[in-house]
Chain A
Amino acid sequence: MSLSDFLRRAVSPWMRNGGPEDDIILTSRVRVARNLEDVPFPVLQTDSHANHVIQAVQNALATPAVQALGRFELLRCSDMSAIDRQVLVEKHLISRDLAEQVRHGAVALRDDEVVSIMVNEEDHLRIQCLLPGLRLKEAWDLANQVDDALERTLPYAFHERYGYLTACPTNVGTGIRASVMMHLPGLVLSGQMGRILSAVQQVGLTVRGMYGEGSDAAGNLFQVSNQVTLGESEEEIIQNLSNVVAQLIEHERNARRLLLQQNREGLEDRVCRSFGILAYARRMDSKETLQRLSDVRLGIDLGIIKGVSANILQELMVMTQPAFLQKYYQQDLSPAERDVRRAALIRERLRLDESGVR
């Protein structure tokens, strides 16, 4: 299969650009935790409980209410190979925890991969909507619709005082975890990330590196999400997060502008050097890949690099992960072999754009 064919089949909508502020916000995600009443949470689940939950979800998916929202396919973790489960993790469609629930886990995927429903992860259901760009409200509206449709058949555990009951009391109430994945190279390069991160935490949000922790999160990719799930409505939670994200976007834009003003040559050198390495290197480890991709993406956003697709960052950050590489090359690869294949895949992908560096 050619790389372009593989990409057409393997790339989820969120990996293409699109949506407001997509130069800084790669994705918006809303996850909603739900549980069935009278069934133990997955932590105490027996095989028959797990099967009962999966069957109930299967039945719900077959109802007109759910089918009106798209075509879903339910996959049991036990029916997938370890590589296929890992590919779903790398595409952010399921969590690492679900991939490890080989015996009891399952996932219902909508054919466009915008909606995924994890079954028997920490909670019976985790409804996830993942969209490119800053579209939190839209992601919540969609999750809300899927939730309403499922609820026609599934008896949810709901408590008058505590709201939707979840295995962990950190998710109880709304059960909602809304997050955005942000590319913040300007704030990191200008040394402001530490200060910004602690400020964001003080307003009740959580920030973590997508790949690695702290301010040297590889690829300058950060996930910002709500911390509290009880005592605020879903709309308030989405609004709070959106407000803070809007401020972060402004800080990032300012930082990028300042970097250009103060050290254009240094910045151009950095992004073009990274482009050169991606275009010619013969061995790339995943951490360096993310760092170079982040530089190149910054170069594209600032107009320094032209003729390269802007979504190269999110596309290659997924495609160069271990399971994806092995899926593409259709063989088991040792870490050293992966570094060689990763470099080859990146070169091939860049050739697809017939790149031109200014």
Chain B
Amino acid sequence: MLCQRCHERPANVQFTQIINGDKKVYHLCEQCAREAQGDLFGQAAQAFNFDFHQWLGHLMNMESSPGFAVPAASAQRCGNCGMTYQQFTQLGRFGCPKCYDNFAPRLEPLLRRIQSATSHTGKVPLHAGSQVKVRKNLERLRKELQQAVAMEQYERAAQLRDQIRELEQQMDRG
């Protein structure tokens, strides 16, 4: 089926519009769906009722189209909570924390689309192992170092290098 908006690309996102209580379903390509969502806020806003979780599910499905390397059976169901991959694409939500590891191969490309990176650089729980904390701190410092160098803040960069060296030694000591 072709996208009902551009009539060019294949439709792979379902878009629901409700006007005066009348529900209409459109089949759009990913690009048009994104534009239509952008229009929501534009001046000529159409009253699109956008089901975000459904859209997310479709994105996940697209990633698993033929040719994309996904380990077979093992990744079809979360061994911990029993949620199937199919259910996730319908709900747009995982069933348990372990789903993240169990669906990891399909998650990574999705995260690249909806987030700005695929790894966390923020807060670490106090109880997290000290190794985790040191590693996370290292990642953060290395990122700050890159920025400092890019902005030619050499004094700051030198400080950061010292801190990084110290943490690396800490890691080696275990």
* Residues of A bordering B, CB below 8 Å: 35, 37-41, 43-44, 122, 144, 147-148, 151-152, 155-165, 167-170, 172-174, 176, 191, 193-195, 197-198, 201, 204, 207-208, 213-216, 228-234, 237
CA distance A342 to B122 in the complex (A): 46
**Further 17 A-B residue pairs, CB within 8 A, beyond A165-B97, A214-B40:** A39-B96, A43-B93, A44-B83, A157-B97, A158-B128, A163-B119, A165-B94, A169-B94, A169-B110, A194-B44, A208-B40, A213-B45, A214-B41, A228-B116, A230-B116, A231-B118, A232-B122
Cβ contact within 8 Å between B122 and A214: no
A123: min CB distance to chain B, Å: 10
Contacts across chains A and B counted by CB atoms under 8 Å: 152
Cβ contact within 8 Å between B116 and A204: yes
The 7 A-B pairs of least Cβ separation, nearest first, read A231-B117, A163-B120, A194-B43, A214-B45, A157-B97, A230-B115, A231-B116
Interface size on B, residues (CB 8 A): 44
Cβ contact within 8 Å between B95 and A234: no
Cβ contact within 8 Å between B43 and A228: no
Cβ contact within 8 Å between B93 and A230: no
Q: Which of B47-84 contact A (CB under 8 A)?
A: 47, 52-53, 56, 81, 83
- A198's partner among B38, B117, B125 (CB-CB below 8 A) is B38
Cβ contact within 8 Å between B41 and A122: no
CA distance A195 to B135 in the complex (A): 42
8 chain-A/chain-B pairs, Cβ below 8 angstroms = A41-B94, A156-B127, A163-B123, A164-B123, A167-B94, A216-B45, A228-B116, A230-B119
Cβ contact within 8 Å between B96 and A40: yes
- A234's partner among B94, B97, B123 (CB-CB below 8 A) is B123
- B123's partner among A155, A160, A174 (CB-CB below 8 A) is A174
B45 contacts across to A, CB distance below 8 A: 194, 213-216
Cβ contact within 8 Å between B95 and A207: no
Say yes or no: A173-B115 contact (C-beta < 8 A), given A38-B97, A43-B91.
yes
CA distance A195 to B45 in the complex (A): 12
Q: Any chain A CB within 8 A of the CB of B111?
A: yes
CA distance A208 to B45 in the complex (A): 12
- Central interface residue in B110, B116, B120, B123, by most chain A CB within 10 Å: B120
Q: Any chain A CB within 8 A of the CB of B148?
A: no
- B41's partner among A38, A207, A228 (CB-CB below 8 A) is A207
B92 contacts across to A, CB distance below 8 A: 168
Q: Any chain A CB within 8 A of the CB of B150?
A: no
Q: Mark B93-114, 1 if CB is under 8 A from A, else 0.
A: 1111100110000010011001
B107: min CB distance to chain A, Å: 7
Cβ contact within 8 Å between A198 and B118: no
Cβ contact within 8 Å between B42 and A198: yes
CA distance A233 to B116 in the complex (A): 11
